[in-house]
Amino acid sequence: MIYLIAGIATLIYGCFVLLLLWQWNNIPQPENQGATSVFASIIIPVRNESKNIERLIHSIYKSAGEQNQFEIIVVDDHSEDETKKIVKSLQVKYDNLNLAQLHDSQQGKKAAISFGISLSKGELMICTDGDSEVGEDWFEEHKQAFSRGAKLAFGPVKLFNAKNTRWIDLLNQELAALVAMGAATLQMGKPTVINGCNYSFAKEAFEEVGGFAGNEHIASGDDEFLLRKLFKAFPHQVQFIKSEKALVISEPVESLTQFYHQRRRWASKWKFHKDAFSKLTAIFIFLIYSIWVWLIIDAVLTKNLLGAFILSIKLLIDYIYIITASRIQKLNPSVFNFCLLQIIYPFYVVFFGVASNFGQYSWRERTHKI
């Protein structure tokens, strides 16, 4: 009976992944609307980003060009390193680089973004993270999305992998899958995933939906909660920028401990989403990966060919999906790394699916209850 259930669940999963691929392929390529005069405010919430903030700011100026078209507002969330000192040193070179300090009574990314918006002059808000680097056309791609009528737009993300390590390749495969899922489910009219280091929105629309009101108490999820709010208010004006020109590259976590806490932080958001699609998708993924964990263990212990056959179907479907999704990030995952991920990932999903429902996690030298 368990093999029948596993086979049916894998068939349903395969249909879902093929639906995602179909929706992904149906996402239109962004159209250039010509020169646009919109003034943009680039909001960068930071906490202890002294290692990365200078690189990010230089990349933004390289991308944005003329300084009279935008402003940068770095909002410091009580950093304990040299972040503020580095930003102040760069203000000598860049006239439109602003540094704001979050009030003592406030903390967190949502508070920092909201404070930055309150100080901003632009119609368009573009958000990125202090540990990222943007491409040469990133700024223009977000402005073009705004010109096409987007109330919110988001683009692809990948992780730095200068040394071409297997660990980062595995993380990039996962990230590529999530980026494609976020874009494809948006195309379906059921938005799910977005990355906070690469999104933009109309200031007026942010204020119209009340910003982050209603989820301020949740430490993470500024991007995903705002995505759902704006999609509900403007269902035809949320866009995924399907272009490698909009790519942002971000720093991977530095240790397994940081990885553990980051993934608990990410996974803990699902229970706060109110839409049925997000909840049902999370539950289905957890259940089916639990079945695959059993199949992997059973295949190793009993050498059962039926379980191995079901797993091979999943592997083939996922390989097509990952290879397709990775193109926009200019990635070329190796077959060995892909197969290794397929063995590890079911255990990873089940573990964090359980661990994200209790306890606490640490992030940016702060501890948050789940």
Identify the CATH number of the domain in which residue 150 sits: 3.90.550.10
What pTM did the predictor assign? 0.93
Residue labelled with tokens 């993380």: 171
- Domain-located, residue 261: no
Q: Is 199 helix (H, G, I), strand (E, B) or coil?
A: strand
Longest CA–CA span in the chain (Å) reads 70
Are 16 and 58 contained in the same domain? no
CA 130/CA 158 separation, integer angstroms? 15
- Domain-located, residue 266: no
What amino acid is encoded at 195 in this protein? N
Q: b vs e for 89-109, b when ≥16 Cβ sit within 10 Å of the residue's Cβ?
A: ebeeebebbbbbebeeeebbb
Are 19 and 78 contained in the same domain? no
Query: Domain total for the chain?
Result: 2
Are 155 and 220 contained in the same domain? yes
Measured in degrees and rounded to the nearest 5, phi and psi for residue 63 equal: -80, -40
Crossing angle (nearest 10°) for helices 305-326 and 166-187: 80
Through-space distance between the first and last CA atoms of the chain, rounded to whole angstroms: 36
Are 225 and 279 contained in the same domain? no
CA 287/CA 25 separation, integer angstroms? 28
CA 192/CA 198 separation, integer angstroms? 15
Q: Which helix (H) or strand (E) holds 243?
A: none
Q: Which residues of the chain have pLDDT under 70?
A: 35
Pick from 42, 46, 43: which is nearest to 251 by CA?
A: 46
pLDDT at res. 159:
96
Domain endpoint, select from 254, 287, 309: 254
pLDDT at res. 237:
97
- Domain-located, residue 313: yes
pLDDT at res. 242:
96
Measured in degrees and rounded to the nearest 5, phi and psi for residue 118 equal: -65, -25
CA 242/CA 31 separation, integer angstroms? 10
Q: Is there a contact between 61 and 94 (Cβ–Cβ < 8 Å)?
A: yes
Q: Is there a contact between 87 and 57 (Cβ–Cβ < 8 Å)?
A: yes
pLDDT at res. 282:
87
Are 15 and 38 contained in the same domain? no
User: Containing domain of residue 342, as a range?
Assistant: 2-23+274-369
pLDDT at res. 245:
95
pLDDT at res. 183:
97
Measured in degrees and rounded to the nearest 5, phi and psi for residue 150 equal: -70, 130
Secondary structure letter of residue 181 according to DSSP? H
Are 298 and 235 contained in the same domain? no
Q: Residue 240, Cβ neighbours under 10 Å: how many?
A: 28
Q: Residue 252, Cβ neighbours under 10 Å: how many?
A: 18
Are 82 and 35 contained in the same domain? yes
Are 9 and 38 contained in the same domain? no
- What is the residue-wise DSSP string for 43-82? EEEESS-TTTHHHHHHHHHHHH--GGGEEEEEEE-S-SSS
* Token representation of residue 9: 């669940």
Are 12 and 79 contained in the same domain? no
pLDDT at res. 37:
83
Are 294 and 357 contained in the same domain? yes
Are 53 and 122 contained in the same domain? yes
